[in-house]
Amino acid sequence: MMKVFSCIIVDDDEMDRLVVQSYAKRFLNLNVIGVFESAEKALLFLNQNEVDIAFLDIEMPGESGIELRKKALSIPVCVFISSHAESAAETFEIQTLDFIVKPFKFARFEQTIQRIEEFMNIKTKADLYEQTIGGDAIYVKSGTEKVKIRLHEILYFEALKNYTVIVTESERHYVLKGLSEFLSDDLFRSFIRIHRSFAVQKQHIEKIISNEIHLINDKTIPIGRSYKKNLSNLL
């Protein structure tokens, strides 16, 4: 049975509210249960209702969308839709899944919904993680089974909100553990963080070109501007 997610839309611009609402209605698994022109009205609604997804503008009269999110961190998914692209970095510090820059087309909104679906799927069946005593492998729990992953098989880690995706050449495993937690463990000292969302294993780096790293399986990973210094010993 298809899981339906409840949504709210908060934006002080009527046309923008209508656009987001019309896009959301194209997805059978989205149920828009509230549309509001201010954070204050949205908060009154949230005091009485549970919501899965919040689509929020940033600049609004009264409280901003960022202030609203800080008061509503219990909402699993938050997506900011704003013309203020410079605010994107700040929003990701308050558990934001995606940031859409206005104006935008349906294709961009569709990408966000795909990301939401992936995240919600991960949230309901996140693998458990265990470190082996030997230190050369980890186990992730998938259903009732434990899958062994040798450390040298891991190409890179990808951060997805409170989860980490462990990527090998053939599989992706989703673990309820933050990327920073992984990297603070000496077991993963062979990994280098190259982006807010990615850490790669040094031995799998084939080449570094401009703002990208190329791995052995032709996978390309972006290099974040603030993480370039981490690569100085490899260049």
Q: What is the DSSP string of the chain?
A: ----EEEEEE-S-HHHHHHHHHHHTT-TTEEEEEEESSHHHHHHHHTT---SEEEE-S--SSS-HHHHHHH-TTSSEEEEEES-GGGHHHHGGG--SEEEESS--HHHHHHHHHHHHHHHHHHHSPBEEEE-TTSSEEEEEETTEEEEEEGGG--EEEEETTEEEEE-SS-EEEESS-HHHHHTSGGGTTEEEEETTEEEEGGGEEEEETTEEEETTS-EEEPPGGGGGGGTTT-
- The answer on 151 and 43 residing in a single domain is no
Q: Is the pLDDT of residue 130 over 70?
A: no
- The answer on 139 and 36 residing in a single domain is no
- The answer on 133 and 120 residing in a single domain is no
For all residues of the chain together, what is the average pLDDT?
87
Q: What is the average per-residue pLDDT within 131-141?
A: 68
- The answer on 90 and 151 residing in a single domain is no
Instruction: Give per-residue pLDDT as tens, 162-189.
Output: 788 899 988 888 888 888 888 888 888 8
- The answer on 33 and 66 residing in a single domain is yes
At position 96, the amino acid (one-letter code) is T
- The answer on 89 and 37 residing in a single domain is yes
Share of the chain above pLDDT 70, in %: 91
CATH classification at residue 137: 2.40.50.1020
Name 89's Cβ contacts closer than 8 Å, sequence gap at least 6. none
Give the sheet arrangement for strand 191-195, strand by strand: 172-175, 163-167, 156-160, 198-201, 191-195
Which tokens sit at 147? 């899958």
Q: What is the average per-residue pLDDT within 142-165?
A: 84
Which tokens sit at 72? 């509503």
Least confident of 12-26, 109-123, 141-155, 191-205: 141-155
**CA–CA separation, 20 and 103 (whole Å):** 11
- The answer on 78 and 16 residing in a single domain is yes
> Would you place residue 92 in the very low, low, confident or very high pLDDT band (cuts 50, 70, 90)?
confident
Residue ending a domain, choose from 95, 124, 153:
124
Q: What is the average per-residue pLDDT within 79-84?
A: 93
CA dihedral 50, 96, 139, 200 (to 10 degrees): 170
- The answer on 156 and 136 residing in a single domain is yes
- The answer on 40 and 79 residing in a single domain is yes
Residue ending a domain, choose from 124, 158, 187:
124
- The answer on 142 and 115 residing in a single domain is no
User: How many domains is the chain partitioned into structurally?
Assistant: 2
At position 232, the amino acid (one-letter code) is S
Q: Is the pLDDT of residue 125 over 80?
A: no
- The answer on 18 and 106 residing in a single domain is yes
Q: Is the pLDDT of residue 133 over 50?
A: no
Residue ending a domain, choose from 101, 124, 147:
124
Least confident of 124-133, 182-191, 209-218: 124-133
- Looking at residue 234, its pLDDT comes to 63
- Looking at residue 124, its pLDDT comes to 65
Peptide bond into 61 cis (omega under 30): no
Could you tell me the residue range of the domain that residue 55 belongs to? 5-124
Which tokens sit at 215? 């791995």
CATH classification at residue 29: 3.40.50.2300
- The answer on 54 and 106 residing in a single domain is yes
Give the angle subtended at the CA of 180 by the CAs of 165 and 191, to the nearest 5°. 70
> Would you place residue 24 in the very low, low, confident or very high pLDDT band (cuts 50, 70, 90)?
very high
